[in-house]
Amino acid sequence: MTLHVDSKKGRVQTAETVAYRSGDALSRELHGRALQVMPGGNSRHSIALAPYPIYAKSGEGCRITDAEGEERIDFINNFTSLILGHAHPEVSKAVCSRVDLGTAFAMPTEADVELAELLVERIPGVEQLRFCNSGSEAVLLAVRAARAFTGKTKIAKFEGAYHGLYDYVQVSELPHPDRWGKPEAPASVIEPSISPNVPHEVIVLPWNNFAACRQLISENASHLAAVVVDPLPAGIGFLSPHQGFLELLRDETVHHNILLIADEVMSLRLSYHGAFSRNGLRPDLVCLGKIIGGGFPVGAIGGSRSIMSVFDHTSNPKVHHGGTFNANPVTMTAGATTLKVMTPEAYDRLNGMGDYLREQLTRMLADHRIPSQVSGEGSLFAVHLTSQALIDFRSLVLCSHTPSVSDKLCHELLARGIVISPRGVGGSLSTPMTTADLDIFVDAVKKSLLAVSYKA
């Protein structure tokens, strides 16, 4: 058994953490109980793992201790929401102090004003904000605001892109190849739970296809209220936009009087001023979530005063918006504390570690002649086990392997002390991590690929 020393905390991490697979594992027992009271034994499909998931007991820094008492380095960070890792001392202290004063009121508090001020100060083009409780809600509100502001009803989104649980943005989220339609004009595909009327209101765009996007936006301009885009879409494998692609979207939307909605629920973590700011671009509306809640449920929509006026109750509002826990002081306090810790220097260090990890993964995979490529930017990364060119959702799907490969790799990595998504080798970094943690990860990925005898 290989031993790794965590230089930051002076403790030893074993290379085999497999108690969760034993016959008397608490995780096995808990999953059995969960199956009786929850469909599939969970409340979100993203954590499902066959034959059952590991149950978490606690977290500290970049590590999670499971129900069996074994510790692993966390490279999911609750799907990118924990940029400071688990139980950050400053956030925990601030939240505990806030809880003692009350957790929710049918009135505003100073805490929501403070977080809004911090975000307005940081994100170019955002003059006013409105809080909600999830990224899904933020996207929903942005779409409704766009319709109210423009008087048009349709939206455009990218094939394969994930924007949360809202009918219109779930169109063609995971379409099967036999329903794709033409590459230059993707079909609007829905799942059975969505109204058959929805696809008629959604134009599906192909990622990184300049000519097709220009044509589709132009053809539908008179009905398009907004184009929704994530500048580094997780649903498309963190495949970066080609140079000039986001600029094209900005130019076309301005030309046709269409709002550009930036979904930065996840990608805000790429930069102190947000992902779009790195290109010098200003979307009309920005959707936020994840890291701005400091580990608590959160969402927000921001934009110019004129667009955000559709929510203003003092001037004939066009979008009604309530929410029992909107801007609750616990979330607002945790979010403001997190943003204060995330200085420009903190972003630079975290993004530098992301560069280091992607470089080390690329080198290791090349050294072992494993056809692959590593995508992502800043503190986000993904490994794609193919040498084929990846430019959009379709190329990603056609080069993807069966879910069983991802499941096997996930279990191999868990056994080597790494928490990763069951959906593939990808995730995010947190500030408590060190290069030693990243080196452990690269070594674990190498050994896991060899263990499953991976062949492209």
Kindly report the CA angle at 238 between 233 and 243, in degrees rounded to 5?
Answer: 85
Nearest Cα to 420, choosing from 130, 142, 87, 76?
76
For 270, phi then psi, to 5°, come to: -75, -20
Burial 104-120 (b: 16+ CB within 10 A, else e): eeeeebebbebbbebbe
Pick from 161, 153, 240: nearest CA to 206: 161
CA angle, residues 415, 62, 365, in degrees to nearest 5: 55
Q: Kindly report the length of the chain.
A: 456
DSSP code for 61: B
- CA 203, CA 181: separation in Å to the nearest integer? 12
State the DSSP H helix or E strand holding residue 275, giving kind and residue range, or none if neither: none
Closest CA to 259 of 276, 280, 282, 293: 282
362 CB burial (10 A radius; 0-12, 13-18, 19+): middle
Alpha helices in 38-123 (DSSP H): 77-80, 89-99, 110-122
Angle at the Cα of 264 from the Cα atoms of 43 and 228, rounded to 5 degrees = 95
List the catalytic residue out of 74, 154, 290, 392.
Answer: 290
Q: Is 263 a catalytic residue?
A: yes
Instruction: At 352, list the tokens.
Output: 């530098």
The pairing of strands 63-66 and 56-60 is antiparallel
Nearest CA-CA partner of 329 in 53, 98, 10? 98
Catalytic-role residue among 52, 162, 166, 347? 162
Neighbours of 279 (CB within 10 A): 15
Catalytic residue among 167, 263, 284, 437: 263
Residue (of 416, 428, 331, 436) closest to 84 by Cα position: 428
Give helix then strand counts, H and E, for the chain: 13, 18
- Catalytic residue status for 312: no
Q: How far apart are CA 303 and CA 110, in angstroms?
A: 21
Query: Which residue bears the tokens 């329903």?
Result: 179
What does the DSSP 8-state code read for residue 139? Answer: H
C-beta of residue 225 within 8 angstroms of C-beta of residue 154:
yes
Catalytic residues: 162, 263, 290
